[in-house]
Each structure stands twice: as structure tokens, then as C-alpha cells.
Chain A
Amino acid sequence: MNIEKAHGEFQKDIAEIIAAVADVFVGQEEVVGEVITALIAGGHVLIEGVPGLGKTLLVKTLADVLDLSFSRIQFTPDLMPADIIGTRILYREDERKPEFTFQKGPVFTSILLADEINRATPKTQSALLEAMQENQITASGITYPLDDPFFVLATQNPIEMEGTYPLPEAQLDRFFFKIMISYPSFEDMERIVDLTTSGEDHIAQKICSRERLLSIRDVARRVLVSGEVKQYAIRVVLSTHHESTYCSKMGKRYIRYGASPRGIQALILGGKVLALQDGRFNLSYEDIRKVALPALRHRILLNFEGEANNIKTDEIILDILKTIA
């Protein structure tokens, strides 16, 4: 097939996926776009927002639209790693001798909603984060590959922090994007009320298959990146390091630690998906700028002065984008 035509079809598919999800998950088009960007880029997403904003609905709708399996784990302090990855149990089939078999946990799915991930203990959190990183789990010395695609959408509540175990920076770095979800607008609230109280079930249409999704992912990775744009992404990430010459005045004042090379990967891969959505064969500066907030906001650690002045990492990133030419 002609490359340009195929490219056009992928572009159309992405637009349809976003539209189909946004049709059910009302009033959060930007969030939907960012989630799908991360999914296509092959990363995982951490969503921060108050309860009741439809995070489960988002993941379920996404699974429906993409025709993928879906699981949800409610993280609690007593949740154990085995509750996530699975465990070996004694199982007897018919009259045969009982045998230990591996009972797969909820992690064996394509889309996983890890609800309130900061409520579980670090041990349990790290079990999931390891699976996210390796795309496989190991139990009793046996390695089990996870689904492809394997997409984790973890959530955390910014309000009730008592009795929680905040994710350490090293674990946060494993999330491709951190997406902030806020209350919908007045008009969107009206639409939500109409959709959810009318008695009609709004079921999302299946738009794309697993194979198609994997093809889109491959195509996105082939988007061309020039040396200049690559260097721009590197400069953006280096400018989050307070000791770097690229760092802005604000960054030097408030940043303790900056983004890791994973930050550059997120900028480039996220940007490539946006380029594909835009029907381009190349990555642009604008793509990098568009993904800079979700890709870097959780990778910057503020110092005491920054925390004390209630500075948001988003403000620092926007300042960096203004400074970097």
C-alpha cells in the first residue's frame, strides 16, 4: 500500500478513537487525547484528580473502543503483590493428582486501571511498576509475558493524602505521562447528566482492533526526527536540571532534581504520535512543546523553597519552554 495513504488511514483511525472515547467520556477531550497518545507510544499513565470524574469510565470506554481486555484493581493498604500478579495454587483437575498451577492475577490484561495506587504499600506498588517496566512478571522462577499492548492507567487522589504511600520519584519516572484531570465545564456537566440519567446505556463503538493498534504504534515510531528537533528535546530536558546552563532562572531557584533520559524518550515518542495525528512524517518543535507538560511534570522534584512557595512544576516547565529557543 502507498505509504502516504496508509499514513492517512492511521491518522484517521487515531482521530476516530479519540472521538469515540470523548463521546462517552464527556468534557475531557484533552485528557482523552493525552491518554491515547501515551497508549500508542507504548507508555503508562498516571492520572491525578479527585474521585468521581469518570476515570473508570475512561478506561472501560478505551477498552471497548479498542476491543481490548480490561481489569481494575482498587489499591488498598492490605493489597499484596500476589493479588496483582497472581499466585500458585494447588489445583486438581478430574481424578488426576493435584498440581500447583499459576493463577494469573488482574495484571494479565491489556488495559489495567490501578485505582488510587498510592494507597497500597510500596512493596505492592513496586510489583506493579516492575510489571509495567518489563512487560512480564516472574513467579516461582517462571517468567510470564504480559499482554501486548499492556497499558496501565494508575490514579491518585491529590486530596486525601493521610494513610497513603506517595510514589517515590524513581517509580514516578516509569510513568510515560502524568495527566491532571479537572472538573468538567458547566455545559459538559449538563451533557453528563443527560447521558447518565436518561436510562439509555451509552456503549462505545469498537473502532480498532488490537492488531491495528499495534500497527499504529509501529508507524508512529517511524516518524522522522531531525537533529535540530532532537537537540531541542534534549535542551528542554537538560533545562530541568538546576546545574545546567540551559536551566531558566526560575528552574535554578526551585528545582532540586530534573528529568531523566526517560523524559526525553517521552517527549520524542509522545511528539511522534502527535505528528502522526497531524498527518506529518516528521516531528516538530510544536509536538515537543505540546507533550512537555504531561511528559515532564512528574519528573521534576522541587526543592524546599519551591514547595514552600507552592510552585507548580507546570509553571516551571512553561517558563523553560519560553526560555529555550
Chain B
Amino acid sequence: MKRYKNLTVEGKMILKELRRLKIGYRLQIIYNLFSAGLFVTILIILFIHIYEVRVNKTNIPVWIFLIPIPLSISFSALKPIRLAEIALRIDKELGLKERLITSLYFLESKDSYAIPLFLNAINQTKGVKALSLFPLKWYRAALLLPLLTAVLFIYDSKSIDSSSVSKIPHQEKLVIQEEGRRIKEFADKLKKNPSLTDPWEKTLIQKLEYAGNSFQSEMMDKREAFMMLSEVSSLIEEHDLSKEKGDFKAQREYPETLLNSPLLKGEKGGLGHEVMDSIQHAKRHIAEAYTGAGKAGDPSSSLKAGTFSGDIISNGEIKSELSGKSTSLQGSVKKYTDSVIPFESVPKRYHTIIKRYFDAISKD
């Protein structure tokens, strides 16, 4: 900031006036930046929405208003405001015909015309309130658009699947909720088991818990829940627990404690079967409730019918499987084709990979 020396009394008064009005100018800058920030946040959020970036959408309305505030304050604090800039703005706003900017220019001058000019300028600005000079204008578009977006997101997050859920008959809803309760109970049972300490086992329990909650609640994203269930299936397959107890691989990879766990002594041979059964059961019921399509015979007909296997989409390893294990993959697909979900409800980013997958299957 420039330091003025040997100022007259009138010169000091001009400086004081300018500094007083500077506060309003800074507030206006913050406000304008905030409005601009709202627009930018909206654009980011729309981007998230269009490209289906996985975020917790319930927080978005809060982001819309919270992100621009610290941004605008910090930017305006960092931006130096010159007194000449303020003087020019005040001259323009009050129609002072450059009296203030000229006063500032001659602030240290001893010209006999400077004093009457200062007095003239002070008379014109005296009593003018900083906020009336630099009003925080109601930018209708700047505030209404974020507000509208926030409302839409709240509505959207509440009804991400509510549109499809609402189409589901009441009886079917009860089935889905019942399955959710069953999965949740099962997750709680696993949680209490002290022997399940491996990271993958903890992940499995978390995912089951989430899926259970999602199916029980009408508010939550059912697509996410499907993904969770499918990931649970993958985890089990990956760790080979769907095989019989005593399988060589299982024995080699998992500690004795886990294999001897009461949970593993299920009717069909242990934890793997129990979980898989639970998932298959849940997925079949839910998918049927969604689509009304019933069971699909094979993957290609599922696709034609607008449905496909839930496991396939969740399996991030499709690509690697395509490269070398198409036979086992086909078997895997057949195993799960009786669980179907609507093709439209699958995120678009998976569409290409799914089509490639079915192409590979049909070649086999």
C-alpha cells in the first residue's frame, strides 16, 4: 500500500473516506465471487451427475453453498485493492466526474486548487453508506440456479431408485426389504465372529452390511447395493470359499481357525455357500421385482431383453478374464444368469465392457 506523506487536513479526510468506502467494495467483491463460485460448483456437480462419479449425493446440496464461501473470502483477502480503483468506482457510482480520483492524484500536492477540490469531493461522499454505494445485488440467476440444483439433488438422492421402486408392487417391496433384513442379520452374525480378522473378510462384512441397509431402506441407492452384493460374490469366488471345506486351495490359503469356524459348517459346506446362497436369493427376488422379466435363459438373451447378469458388471476383472479364461467365465456367467437387473440401471461406463464380454461369450 502506498504511503502518503505531508498530507493536509483535507487530504487526510479524503484518505479516510476512501478507506471507509473500501470495506463495502471488498464485501461486494466477496459477494460477487461467491455468486460466481456457486456457478462453478454447479458445473462441477452437474459434471459429477452426468458422468455418474460415485459420491455421496446427499451431501451435494451442502457443497453447493459451502464450497464458494471459503473460496471467495480467501481470494478477496489475497487480492490487493488499490485506492485508485476504489476512487474510480465511487466516481462512477456517485457521478462525481472524477473528483475523487483527481483528489487522490493530487493528495500530496500543494496546488491551491487541490484543497477546494478535496473539500468538494468530501462533501459529495459524506454520509454515503458503503453498502448503499456497493450494494450486494440480488443476482437472481446466481442464487436461484444453485438453489434449484440443491433441491433437485435432494429430490434425486431421495428418489434415485424411487422411480423404479415406486413401480414395484407393494408385495415385492416387502420381499426386497425382507431380503435386506436377512442380509443385514447375516452381516451382523459375521461381525460377531472373532476369527474373521483378515482385511478381505472385514470388507466383505462391510459390503454385506451396506447392501442389507440399502435394500431395507427405500431412500438408498439400490444400484449401489447390487454392486456391493456382486463384489461380495467376487470376493468369495476369489478366495475360493464357495468350494467344499477341505479343498486344497482353501486349506492352503486360509488359517485353520477360519475353516473350522461354525459358520463354515453350513448345510452346503460352509461360509462360502451360505453367503452365496444368501446373495443369489436376494438378487433373484430383487431383480424380478425390478424388471418383472423373470429369469433369463442365457447372457445374450438377457441382453436382448434389456437385462444382464449382476455379477458381470460388478466384476472389475472382466477384461483379464476375457484375455485368457473365457471358458471358465462362461461357466461363471451361466451360474449367475438367473439373477438379472435392468440394463438401464447399470452405469453407462460399464456398457461397452459388458457388450465386449457378451461378444466374447458368443464367439466361444
Contact = CB atoms under 8 A, between A and B. Distances in A.
A233 to B, nearest CB: 12
14 contacts: A3-B115, A222-B113, A223-B113, A226-B104, A229-B98, A229-B101, A280-B120, A281-B113, A282-B97, A282-B99, A282-B102, A282-B117, A284-B97, A287-B97
A287 B104 CA distance: 19
Contacts of B246: none
Closest 6 CB pairs of A and B: A284-B97, A282-B102, A226-B105, A226-B102, A281-B117, A284-B98
Contact of B105 (A4, A228, A284): A228
Contacts of A284: 97-98
B116 A283 contact: no
A7 interface: yes
Given A224-B106, A228-B88, A228-B105, A283 B113 contact: no
A4 B10 CA distance: 15
Interface in A219-237: 222-229
A229 B102 CA distance: 8
Interface in B274-290: none
Contacts, number: 57
Interface residues of B, number: 20
A224 B114 contact: yes
A307 interface: no
B84 interface: yes
B112 A3 contact: yes
A227 B104 CA distance: 10
B364 interface: no
A284 B103 CA distance: 12
A285 interface: yes
Contacts of A227: 105
A93 B115 CA distance: 59
A286 interface: yes
Contacts of A280: 97, 99, 120
B88 A224 contact: no
Contacts of B115: 3
Interface string B108-122: 000111111101100
B101 A224 contact: no
Nearest to B105: A226
Given A224-B117, A228-B84, A228-B88, A283 B102 contact: yes
Given A226-B105, A228-B88, A282 B116 contact: no
Given A227-B105, A228-B88, A281-B120, A286 B97 contact: yes
Contacts of B99: 280, 282
Contacts of B119: 4
Contacts of B117: 224, 281-282
Contacts of A281: 102, 113-114, 116-117, 120
A7 B104 CA distance: 21
A222 B106 CA distance: 13
Nearest to A223: B113
Nearest to A280: B97
Contacts of A4: 116, 119
